[in-house]
Structure 1
Amino acid sequence: MDLGLSGKRALVLSSSRGLGLASAKALAAEGAEVFMTARSGDKLDAAVAEIVAAGGRAHAFAANLTKDADRIFAEAERTMGGVDILIANTGGPPARMAAEVPDEDWMPQFEAMVLPVFRLARLCLPGMRARGFGRIVTIASSGVIQPIPNLAMSNALRASILGYSKTLAAEVAKDGITVNLVLPGRIRTDRTAELDAANAKRLGKSAEEIEAAAVSAIPAGRYGKVEEFGDVVAFLASERASYITGSKIAVDGGAVRSV
């Protein structure tokens, strides 16, 4: 299937590793030009080099998403001539129980995880509207459907992105713009390993025991691959997904049990 991504221009946030990198690779493999951002310049350069070596078009721009959202957008526009696709990926907060989060920890995490998504969506919309095509795909978490223990901050803050995205989707659908969320479950990434280690420490178990328990609750019987996740993002960003908007798509091996 031709996804119709050839010649499209994608801004992919936090894309030096993990789900962001997998999304950038999938988009580039389908012919999109990708503008990749992260704080780590070395990791980002290596990621871009990998995509270019595979025949894709990619650019690196090291920046702090919390402070530099306007600069990131301006540089993406200057480099590619426009942004047709926004893949909004932001880092996750520390693992915490709900009753343990002090008041002063909420705002910095909101400014790091949530506000850049809102700001960059707003910046991208005028160009998308003018061209009659746009895709805003946010990488969130299955925790917005089924809250994940010990991830109170992520569950709460990512849920605000869900509400925003659903509202925005209805406002811009007539302009040829779709707005969707992709909700990863247990995908094998550095972040997942960090969370397993945090839960192991909290519960006095080994990381291997934590992973085994997690796998036992996943109908697919395994952690997901980043490539499987990236392919879903690429589809939602494509012309073929033009009638999917305001949706949340779980990529979790069936772990979320709600209907």
Structure 2
Amino acid sequence: MDLQLKGRTALVLGGGGGLGGAIARTLAAEGANLVVADIDLQAAQSTLDGVISAGGQGMALAWDLGDIAQLEANVGAIEARFGGVDILVNNTGGPPPTPVSGQDPALWQKQFQSMVLSVIAITDRLLPGMRDRKWGRIITSTSSGVVSPIPNLGISNTLRLSLVGWSKTLAREVARDGITSNIILPGRIATDRIRFLDQKKAEREGRSVEEVSRESTDSIPVGRYGEPQEYADTVAFLASGCASYITGSVIRVDGGLISSI
């Protein structure tokens, strides 16, 4: 299937991580120009090196999503190189695992800035160009916690859910401009983030990481953690011309983990 991505430009936030890196490489394999952004420039460059070695092209940017002041300079660099962004993948890092109650307001404010406000600000900055071209894809990665809240991930459950309401509202506002806006949420995908969360749970409960991981795997109907590539393939389809009639949706990539309809 031709995903009609040749010549499109994609900006992948958090592109130095497990999910972001897989998404960047997959979009590049479909012919898109890649902008790989990450707070860790070395990690972003590593992803870009993989893209280039596979025959793709792009650029790496150091981008701290907690610093809104970086927005104009980074978007300016992208526009100077590629002329604009057609596909925006909003993929942010996760907050520390904590209960929802009793957290310092400063922690809430810091995480809101990097996980929510940055996504909204970057999207708003790129929308005029998408509208001018009558084509755009806004794909926001959240968490299975927006459907079924995850214990001890109180900040993530709360803030990521706000992005669901934002994305759905945005979808209606931009649909006539040829722009789609969708939420994609991972279940338990085998990344460093999931390994970190399993480790923290094991420490809290005085159990081995292997026991925690086995218990988690047993709760997934397909019987395993997902692969980053499986998640990236879904993002690539949503980014494609083939998905032009899918907007305002929440797509689960969870192996059947979430029990609700």
**Normalised by the size of structure 1, how large is the TM-score?**
0.98
Residue 25 of structure 1: aligned partner:
25
Alignment of 1:48-87 (within 5 A): 48-67=48-67, 68-87=70-89
Counterpart of 1:220 (choices 219, 222, 226) is 222
Name the aligned partner's letter for residue 31 of structure 2.
Answer: G
Kindly provide the CA deviation profile for residues 98-143 of structure 1, in whole angstroms up to 9, marking residues without a partner as x: 2242333111100011111100110111000000000000111111
Q: Distance in 1 between matches of 2:204 and 2:104?
A: 18
Give the unaligned 5+ runs of structure 2: none
Match of residue 248 from structure 1: 250
Contact 2:41 2:61 in 1 (8 A): yes
Q: Distance in 2 between matches of 1:173 and 1:247?
A: 12
- CA distance in 1: counterparts of 2:74 and 2:183, whole angstroms: 21
Instruction: Deviation per CA, 1:184-219: give whole Å up to 9, x if none.
Output: 010000011111111111111111111101101000
1:34 aligns with 2:31: no
- Deviation of residue 65 (structure 1)? 2.0
Question: Do 1:133 and 1:177's aligned partners in 2 also have CA atoms closer than 8 Å?
Answer: yes
- The one of 211, 228, 231 equivalent to 2:233 is 231
Q: What SS class does the counterpart of residue 114 from structure 1 fall into?
A: helix
Residues 134-213 of structure 1 mapped to structure 2, 5 A cutoff: 134-213=136-215
Q: What SS class does the counterpart of residue 59 from structure 1 fall into?
A: strand
Which shifted more, 25-34 or 103-112? 103-112
CA contact (8 A) 2:98 2:154 kept: yes
Q: Report the RMSD for the aligned CA atoms in angstroms.
A: 0.9
TM-score (norm 2): 0.97
Rounded to whole Å, the distance in 2 between the matches of 1:164 and 1:176 is 18
Q: Percent identity?
A: 49
3-state secondary structure, aligned to 2:5:
coil
Question: 1:241, 1:143 → 2: CA distance?
Answer: 25
1:41 Cα shift?
1.9
Structure 2 partner of 1:257: 259
SS at match of 1:66: coil
Q: Which runs of 4+ in 1 moved over 4 A?
A: none
TM superposition shift of 1:71: 2.4
Consecutive unaligned residues of structure 1, counting only runs of 5 or more, are none
